């Protein structure tokens, strides 16, 4: 499907909310999807894969933080939205987080969250999974090698900084998302719409049809 970036972002926000995330994280998810999509990555598919995991029901369990039990043993995935948001909040200090990050679901979604800090650090960030997929950003562009998508059960993620060099690519004027992912996102988004009832129609928007 070809869309405007605004349409994809808007759908991503509603889908994330519809899947049970708080509005603040939903807005951030929308931004992250847009950032990825602008740079040729299928942010919509990543988000659809994440929301399918149903992590919003217990965000605390899927958050980074003091972990007594190793995620490798517990098998509990880390949510990239709450992780990414946390890293973004830390600003340039984000690199100090304990690594590797274990069992991160859909780790490509983390990259947009730290892009701004990467710009400030004037370095390049590499994010890689144990299976060898790598995403590199200078804060503005994105270069992916290997496959990030479809990592069910989460991936062990490491990241490090390297000297700044431009990562090219200009923003595609259109957003792209595969039909299946769009359909899934639409279903979650629909959870945020109130049912169309006669009462809602009559009371909700004020004016009677027609006019002078």
Partner 1 sequence: MTSELKLRPPAQMMRLHRLGAMHQCRLSFMRVLLRRMAREAWRFERQAFEIDAAGVGYAVYTTHGPERAYSLVAFAHDLPDEQRSDRVIATAWDATFALFDGVPEENDIARLAENVPLQEAGRLTAQELSVSRANRSARLWEHVVERLSQGMQPDCARLQEVGYLMRTTAVYGSGKLGAADRELIADRSEMAAPFQAEMLSIYLTRWFVRDLVEHMARARNPQAARLDNGLAEHLGIGNSTGLGMAPFLINHPQLFNNWMAAREEAIARVRALQTATQEARSAFAAAYEGAKRTVALWHSQSPLQQVRLVQLRQDLQQIDMALPELMDRSSPWDRLMVWAEDKLSYEGQELLASLILEPYGPLVDDLEVRLADDSVDSFRIDGGMHISELQEALREVYGWAGDIDWDAPESVARVWYVSEEKLEPRLGERFEEPVAAYEQALAPARDAAWLAQALTQWPGETQVAAFLLRHPEHRHQVRRVQIAQRAPYAEIRDNTISAEMLPIDMLRAKLSFFGVTRFDPRSDRWVRVCMYAGAPYPTELAPANADHWVYPGPQA
The answer to the question of residue 93 lying near partner 1 (CB under 8 A) is: yes
> Which positions from 163 through 192 interact with partner 1, judged by CB under 8 A?
171, 173-174, 190, 192
Q: 């992916």: which residue's tokens?
A: 144
Residue 192 neighbours by CB under 8 Å, 6+ apart:
14, 17, 18
Taking residue 190's Cβ as centre, other Cβ atoms within 10 Å add up to: 11
Structure tokens at 128: 């890689």
8 Å CB contact between 188 and 51: yes
Degrees, nearest 5: CA angle 56-60-62: 65
Give the number of residues in contact with partner 1, rule: CB under 8 A. 49
Return the range that interacts with partner 1 (CB under 8 A); candidates 46-54, 70-78, 82-90, 101-109: 82-90
State which of residues 96, 98, 132, 203 lies at the interface with partner 1 (CB under 8 A).
203
Cα separation, 98 vs 100, whole angstroms: 6
The binder of partner 1 chosen from 4, 72, 74, 131 (CB under 8 A) = 4
Is there binding between residue 68 and partner 1 (CB under 8 A)? no
Does the protein bind partner 1 through residue 23 (CB under 8 A)?
A: yes
Nearest to partner 1 of 152, 190 (CB atom): 190
**Pick 37 or 128: Cβ nearer partner 1:** 37
Compute CA 188 distance to the chain's CA centroid, rounded to the nearest angstrom: 15
Distance CA 146, CA 126 (A): 13
Nearer to partner 1, 82 or 104 (CB): 82
Q: CA-CA distance, 208 to 199, in Å (whole number)?
A: 13
Binding residues (CB under 8 A) for partner 1: these are: 2-7, 21-25, 27-28, 31, 59-60, 63-65, 82, 85-86, 88-91, 93, 116, 171, 173-174, 190, 192-196, 199-201, 203-207, 209-212
């Amino acid at each position: 499907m070809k869309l405007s970036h605004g349409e994809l972002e808007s759908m991503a926000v509603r889908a994330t909310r519809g899947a049970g995330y708080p509005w603040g994280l939903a807005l951030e998810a929308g931004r992250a999807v847009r950032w990825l999509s602008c740079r040729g990555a299928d942010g919509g598919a990543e988000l659809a894969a994440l929301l399918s995991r149903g992590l919003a029901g217990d965000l605390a369990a899927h958050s980074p933080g003091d972990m007594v039990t190793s995620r490798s043993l517990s098998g509990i995935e880390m949510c990239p939205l709450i992780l990414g948001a946390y890293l973004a909040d830390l600003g340039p200090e984000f690199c100090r987080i304990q690594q590797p990050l274990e069992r991160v679901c859909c780790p490509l979604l983390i990259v947009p969250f730290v892009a701004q800090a990467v710009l400030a650090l004037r370095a390049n960030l590499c994010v890689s999974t144990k299976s060898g997929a790598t995403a590199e950003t200078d804060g503005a562009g994105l270069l992916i090698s290997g496959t990030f998508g479809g990592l069910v059960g989460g991936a062990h993620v490491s990241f490090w900084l390297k000297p700044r060099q431009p990562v090219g690519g200009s923003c595609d004027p259109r957003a792209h998302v595969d039909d299946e992912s769009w359909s899934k996102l639409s279903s979650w988004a629909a959870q945020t719409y109130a049912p169309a009832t006669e009462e809602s129609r009559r009371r909700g928007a004020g004016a009677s049809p027609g006019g002078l």
